[in-house]
Amino acid sequence: MRDLTLTALLRCLSGVLLLPAWDVAAREFYFSPSSLEGDTLTQQDVDLSLFSHQNGQLPGTYSSRVMLNARAQPEENIRYLSGPDGVLQPQLTPAMLRRWGIKVDDYPAFAGLAEQTLLPDPLGHYLPFASATFDFASTTLRLSIPQAALGQSRAGDIDPASWQDGVPVLFADYALSGSQNEDSDHRHDSSQYLNLRSGLNLGGWRVRNYSTWSRTDDSHAWDDVGSWIQHDVDALRAQFTAGDNSTRGDVFDSVQYRGVNLASDDEMLPYSQRGYAPVIQGVASSNAEVSVRQNGYLIYQQNVAPGAFEIRDLNSTTNSGDLEVSVKEADGTVHSWTQPYSSVAVMQRPGQIKYELTAARYRADNDGHQNEPLFAQGSAIYGLNNALTLFGGVTASQDYQAVDAGIGMVPGELGSISFDVTWAGTTLDNDEHRTGQSYRVLYSGKIDATDTNFTLASYRYSTAGYYSFADANQKYDEDDWTQRYNKRNRIQASISQTLFASSLYLNGYQQDYWGTSQRERSVTAGLNHVFGSVSAHLACTYSQSGDEPSDRMVSLGFSVPLSAWLPGSWASYSLNNSRHGDTGQSVGINGTLLDDQRLSYSFQQSHTNHDGTDNSSVYSSYRSQYANVNAGYYAASDDTRRFNYGASGAIVAHPHGVTLAQPLGEQFAIVSTNGASGVRFRNQRGVQTDSFGNAVIPSLTPYQQNTLRVDTTTLPEDVDTDATALTLIPSRRAAVAARFEARIGYRVLITLTQENGRPVPFGALASVTGAVQSGIVDEGGVLYLAGIAERADLSVQWGAAQAQRCRAQLIIPAGSAASPAGIRTARAICHQENHRAP
């Protein structure tokens, strides 16, 4: 009974005490600093009023995410000052507002202000009903701007004024591969291949050269694939190109030229306003060499490990034109097929036009069996409405004239389909005159009911007298059957299908000719399926060209993860059968190593039933800051040996020096970190700053925001930075500069003592003279700072009075010991400013 009475009394008292808490959300509370250290802190009169406000924070420069009306803008380094209530206020300029698409010139309050002038008053003073609020926790600046103050924009649109042409650079982007071979009779041979893309950027001009070099024991060759100069035409959303290049192939087949070209660039448009090199898939039975040719040029060559491979980084020299793919195995066996390559069905948004104009000389294939006449070509694609697109074009030269007209449609939800007809008149190399028509149907889309994707499906029928411009320029050769008979029917398709949790794909084409039963045919089909954590694939390739014997290969493979025993690894098994009836089996272990998976490896053991040959192979690749390198070794029981190697990367000369880098891609960034070496970046395997503090970040997206982020978890012990993210918007083929303000120095815990022996008060603000480092003193007078040199002057303040300021000289002895975390300790006496020691 006594316990029950006591419980009831306590509940009653607690209820009374909680009554004043009902209006807690409407009050701002003040926490007395004396509660932390009692009377000692009170006597020191420390000023912690900044942190008594709900959103009070230290002023300074912060890397900020900018959200304008809930839409992301490029990140900015913005300086903030404390307002009367302690809340940070952004220091904005008219130039910043203009970059964000705000119509500064429409408001008189901005008149007379220079572009870089800091606005002294809140944003609402200049733009009625506008506001700027900084969320310190997420470092996000939220701008609320009336719609009338914003220029017309579309989702994802970026003002061309924000596009960066970059800095002057001179570079060479290379890919080198080679092999050393020994056959069963101990005869040796070797081969090397170099793919070289050189360039010069100056202002908005881009100069490029594409060359290849190949060598065998019997021959060597240097091919100049092309040189050209290019510049953006921002007002037309187009590219001007002069030199050796190729037309895009949107209406007519793509052709190589030497001359001038003006063509619209869809990537200058936002993603929401945009209306293809294919992925090449195959299977290698051993350490193999994959080669890709187009128009007679060797445009790609790479060594691959045994198993399934994909080529996703193909730099094609034209926008259409079949790709000849060959896989040369370690034992010399070659499998080949044709990968069809053409533009997709044409559709444009209402009112949008896509165009191309060319005046040039036709450029022959590398084999030289073509005429090279002067020609002019123009084409246009115009979106009439949501359902219809009209397109057409004209090609004219001395011996060839062609006119094309077509229409594209969107038949409901089935995708897009286009139909066009081309009329052509041709005077052949033997003076015969031919006329004819070619009819073409293109389809691209998805059938939702069956989940079938048609990446590209097309059919073309040509009459007996029709010649394309490339075919019309062929020199007559009685021994070449493809020149004696012009093209008749061509059908090609690229289809993918999901069925019972499996992914099926089919890529194929067939071409036949007038006057002969011979034809070209190529088919690649495959099936991928995942059983829990086990993946399986089945693939088949078949090709036939004229009277040549057909080539066929079937493969089956499995992959099982081994992460429970060896992180980042998996075991694989494959079974391959070729046209000759040879059956090969292989088992292997593959994986990646190091913290960012920049090192990969493969071990394979194989057996072939035809001659009982056993072989072993090892392959590895590594992404370093200077280049990507790879090497492989193959040995068979018949004493066949093969060693292959490769390296790809770039040498870039820029305003900060010369930097070795990984392959560049079209657009890239040159990063400078104030000489700090070893700085790494997120999602960039192997990339880090060199001994000069420079690095190259490859493969940026043009005309779009690219955010570079420092990997702060891997910063070297003597490097620190506050700016961890930058946003870049490069123009086409630009090399843009990015600077992270990194500091090189020690990480230090400093015990600060006043002249009277007392520790500097808790909450005192300390900063390094002439630098941006700052921090807050803790309750023991200890201050943490990073990036500090061996000598530094500190300015400390804990109030507005003269007696609440002092200065200290910090000296860190050379070779002083550091903790396992790389933090050193030091002591310093803080002298009053009015009588500090000399």
Per-residue pLDDT tens over the stretch 638-659? 888 999 999 999 999 999 999 9
788 with 62: CB under 8 angstroms?
no
pLDDT tens for each residue of 201-217? 999 999 999 999 999 88
User: Tokens 């924009």 belong to which residue?
Assistant: 153
- Residue 480's pLDDT is what? 58
274, pLDDT greater than 80: no
The Cα 778–Cα 759 span in angstroms is 10
- The SS3 call for residue 264 is strand
45, pLDDT greater than 60: no
Q: Averaging pLDDT over each range in 322-326, 466-470, 544-548, which range is the top one?
A: 466-470
Maximum Cα–Cα distance for the chain, whole Å?
Answer: 123
- Residue 50's pLDDT is what? 54
- The whole-chain average pLDDT of the chain stands at 82
- Residue 437's pLDDT is what? 95
Single-letter code of the amino acid located at 591? G
352, pLDDT greater than 80: yes
Cα atoms found within 13 Å of the Cα of residue 675, Cβ hemisphere only: 5
784 with 790: CB under 8 angstroms?
no
The Cα 828–Cα 813 span in angstroms is 12
- Give percent of the chain above pLDDT 90: 31
The Cα 39–Cα 761 span in angstroms is 12
Neighbours of 216 (CB within 10 A): 12
pLDDT tens for each residue of 698-725? 999 999 889 898 888 888 877 877 777 8
- Residue 154's pLDDT is what? 53
279, pLDDT greater than 80: no
CATH class for the region spanning 745-832: mainly beta
Q: Which of 3.30.420.40, 3.30.1360.200, 3.40.50.10790, 3.10.20.410 would CATH assign to domain 50-153?
A: 3.10.20.410
Q: Which of 570, 564, 578 is nearest to 536 (CA)?
A: 570
Residue 802 dihedral angles phi and psi, to the nearest 5°: -60, -35
818, pLDDT greater than 80: no
277, pLDDT greater than 90: no
Single-letter code of the amino acid located at 500? F
Contacts of 103 (CB under 8 A, 6+ apart): 149, 150, 151
Instruction: Please state the rounded mean pLDDT for residues 596-624.
Output: 87
Q: Which of 570, 560, 622 is nearest to 591 (CA)?
A: 570
pLDDT band of residue 342 (cuts 50, 70, 90) is: low
pLDDT tens for each residue of 130-172? 888 888 777 889 888 887 787 655 555 677 878 999 999 999 9
Question: What is the pTM assigned to this prediction?
Answer: 0.72
The Cα 832–Cα 188 span in angstroms is 82
The Cα 521–Cα 515 span in angstroms is 17
Q: Which of 772, 784, 762, 774 is nearest to 742 (CA)?
A: 772
- Residue 319's pLDDT is what? 47
- Residue 207's pLDDT is what? 97
The Cα 677–Cα 728 span in angstroms is 22
Instruction: Please state the rounded mean pLDDT for residues 367-396.
Output: 90
pLDDT tens for each residue of 208-250? 999 999 998 888 889 888 899 999 999 899 999 999 999 988 8
Q: What is the DSSP string of 315-360?
A: --SSSSS-EEEEEE-TTS-EEEEEE----------TT-EEEEEEEE
Q: Which of 608, 611, 629, 610 is nearest to 620 (CA)?
A: 629
Q: What is the DSSP string of 598-624?
A: -EEEEEEEEEETTT--EEEEEEEEEE-
User: Tokens 């394309």 belong to which residue?
Assistant: 468
pLDDT band of residue 354 (cuts 50, 70, 90) is: very high
Q: Spell 247-261 as b/e; 16+ CB within 10 A means b.
A: bbbbbbbbbbbbbbb
Contacts of 396 (CB under 8 A, 6+ apart): 375, 376, 377, 402
747 with 824: CB under 8 angstroms?
yes
Enter the tokens of residue 758: 């007392």
Residue 74, CA distances (Å) to 95, 146, 684 in order = 14, 20, 20
pLDDT band of residue 72 (cuts 50, 70, 90) is: confident
The Cα 591–Cα 568 span in angstroms is 5
Q: Spell 174-199 as b/e; 16+ CB within 10 A means b.
A: bbbbbbebbbeeeeeeebbbbbbbbb
The Cα 673–Cα 66 span in angstroms is 24
Single-letter code of the amino acid located at 158? I
- Residue 636's pLDDT is what? 86
**Domain boundaries defined on the chain:** 50-153, 745-832
Contacts of 831 (CB under 8 A, 6+ apart): 755, 806, 807, 808, 837
Q: Averaging pLDDT over each range in 39-48, 480-489, 769-778, which range is the top one?
A: 769-778
pLDDT band of residue 345 (cuts 50, 70, 90) is: low
Residue 396, CA distances (Å) to 233, 245, 282, 401, 528 in order = 26, 18, 40, 5, 47
With 0-12 / 13-18 / 19 or more C-beta atoms within 10 angstroms meaning exposed / middle / buried, residue 5 is exposed
- Give percent of the chain above pLDDT 70: 85
pLDDT band of residue 51 (cuts 50, 70, 90) is: low
- Residue 26's pLDDT is what? 39
Q: What is the DSSP letter of 102?
A: B
